[in-house]
Amino acid sequence: MLYNGETGFVQTSDGSQVTILFSTGDACETCGLKVVCAPGKQSERLLTLPQAGDFKPGQKVQIEELSNLELHLALIQFGLPMAAFLSGLFLGYVLPFQDILPRELSAFLFACMGLGLSFFAARSLVQKIVDIIPEKYLRIVPCV
C-alpha cells in the first residue's frame, strides 16, 4: 500500500494544509504510484494534505489508508483501455461497413478509436482521484 502505517513528522502546518516529511524507503524505487509524493534528493519525501486536526511542526504522525488507491488507479490505467479496445473491436466487427472496408480493418480502426478515447477518459478520472485523494483515501493520525 502507498502510505498505510508509515510515520513521518509534520514539517509545516498552516490553517488549511499539513505537510508531512517521510524518509524514503526501499519501496519508493519500485513504486509506480508517485501521484501524491515526490521523492527528494536527500532520501526524503513530502506529502501535503488538508488539515484535519490540530498538528504542530515536529509532531510525529502516522498515515492510514482508508481505501485501496492502488487498485482504483490500476483499474483506470489498465482496465479502461482494455474495455474500450475490446468494445471498439466488437463494434467495428458487427457494424455493417463491409461495403466500404473489410470487416477486420473496420474492427481494428474502431478498436484504435476506442483506445484513443479511453486515454482522455482515464486522464480525466485520474485527475478527479488525485483531487480527492486527501479526503477519501488518506487520514492523518497523531502518534502517541
Q: Residues 85, 115: one domain?
A: yes
Q: Residues 42, 85: one domain?
A: no
| φ/ψ (deg, to 5) at 30 | -105, 0
> For the whole prediction, is pTM greater than 0.85?
no
- The reported pLDDT for the residue numbered 13 is 83
Range of the domain at 38: 7-66+135-142
Query: 53 lies in a domain?
Result: yes
Q: Residues 18, 39: one domain?
A: yes
- The reported pLDDT for the residue numbered 1 is 37
Q: Residues 53, 22: one domain?
A: yes
Q: Residues 15, 35: one domain?
A: yes
> 1 vs 51, which has greater pLDDT?
51
Q: Residues 61, 73: one domain?
A: no
Q: Residues 49, 73: one domain?
A: no
Query: 2 lies in a domain?
Result: no
Write out the DSSP string of 89-103. Answer: HHHHHHSS-TTTS-H
- pLDDT tens readout for residues 114-125: 999 999 999 998
Query: 20 lies in a domain?
Result: yes
* Per-residue b or e along 59-87, where b marks 16 or more CB atoms closer than 10 Å to that residue's CB: bebbbebeeebeeebeebeeebbeebbeb
